[in-house]
Amino acid sequence: MLLKVCGATSRRDVAVLGAAGADLIGLWHGVPGGPAELSAGRLAALAQACRTLEVTAARPAPEPVLVTFLPDPAAVLDAARAAGVRWLQLHGYQPPAVVAALKRGWPEVTVVKVLHISGDACAERPLLASYERAGTDVFLFDAVSEAGRVGSTGVTLDPGVVLDLAEATTQPFLLAGGISAANRPRYEKVTAHPRFVGVDVDTAARDAAGAFCADRIGGIRRQWRAVPEVEEVA
Ligand SMILES: O=C(O)c1ccccc1NCC(=O)[C@H](O)[C@H](O)COP(=O)(O)O
């Protein structure tokens, strides 16, 4: 199970997230007005900080993920290549053609396409097969707030809606939307899905002041990585 934590803006953030057990660290570039937006130079510096972080022998250094709203595949690839980032998370409403152009331009990248879910409706539902044909490697199911806000909403998804969407796709998926240590039991069936690969967190990874909190992240990691108890059959 992968743990992705989103929105690092400093070397300290990267160090806290790495030590707390994040496998993937989200770095924003091309999120206009976003509080965690990074210039191309900062993106490259923090991506390097992820890769060179000293973690335990049992765990590889966290993988940086470029999280972006950019609609221009050439701009995404330029930023990713310059920073040496091989995971690209398309968090906006970029169409399947953008995924296809990214895979054509750099076939080795892992493209994560966010699917925006509001209530029981997924905005990209009519395009799922197109996104898969275009080369999407992983879907990320995330909540849109009632006001239409996208990203870090802290709003949770209905597990039934998640499972229904999982069945409408064939690729691995990450779950986001208000994920915390406490709500893991609610998603028992989701975690048992054969294509569930992990969770993506922002709000619950932070303390009251908005700083990343190692204890909270460690708690999320422990709860979501735990293997559920299996009832013994007599
Ligand atoms: O974090 C944001 O505000 C954000 C803004 C624009 C694009 C993406 C953004 N976040 C991306 C993430 O991957 C978050 O981790 C994900 O939305 C889950 O957030 P939360 O519900 O707060 O755990």
Does residue 100 have its Cβ closer than 6 Å to ligand 1?
A: no
Each of the 234 residues of the chain gets a pLDDT tens digit; together they read: 999 999 999 999 999 999 999 999 999 999 999 999 999 999 999 999 999 998 776 788 999 999 999 999 999 999 999 999 999 999 999 999 999 999 999 999 999 999 999 999 999 999 999 999 999 999 999 999 999 998 889 999 999 999 999 999 999 999 999 999 999 999 999 999 999 999 999 999 999 999 999 999 999 999 999 755 544 444
CATH number of 2-225: 3.20.20.70
pLDDT on residue 231: 46
Answer whether 15's CB lies under 8 Å from 62's CB: no
Q: Locate the DSSP E strands across the chain.
A: 2-6, 24-28, 63-68, 87-90, 110-118, 121-122, 138-143, 173-175, 196-201
Residue type, 146: E
Q: Residue 96's closest CA among 76, 80, 75, 73?
A: 73
Q: Give nearest CA residue, ligand 1 atom 1.
A: 152
CA dist 31 and 95 (Å) reads 17
pLDDT on residue 227: 59
Does residue 96 have its Cβ closer than 6 Å to ligand 1?
A: no
Three-class SS of residue 31? Answer: coil
Does residue 115 have its Cβ closer than 6 Å to ligand 1?
A: no
Collect all residues with Cβ–Cβ distance below 8 Å to 9 and sequence separation of at least 6: 36, 38, 42, 46
Q: Helix, strand, coil shares of the chain as percentages rounded to 5?
A: 35, 20, 40
Does residue 178 have its Cβ closer than 6 Å to ligand 1?
A: yes
pLDDT on residue 19: 93
What are residue 48's phi and psi, to 5 degrees?
-65, -40
Looking at the whole model, is its pTM more than 0.80? yes
Neighbour tally for 87: CB within 10 Å: 22
> Token digits for 98?
């953008």
Collect all residues with Cβ–Cβ distance below 8 Å to 19 and sequence separation of at least 6: 55, 214
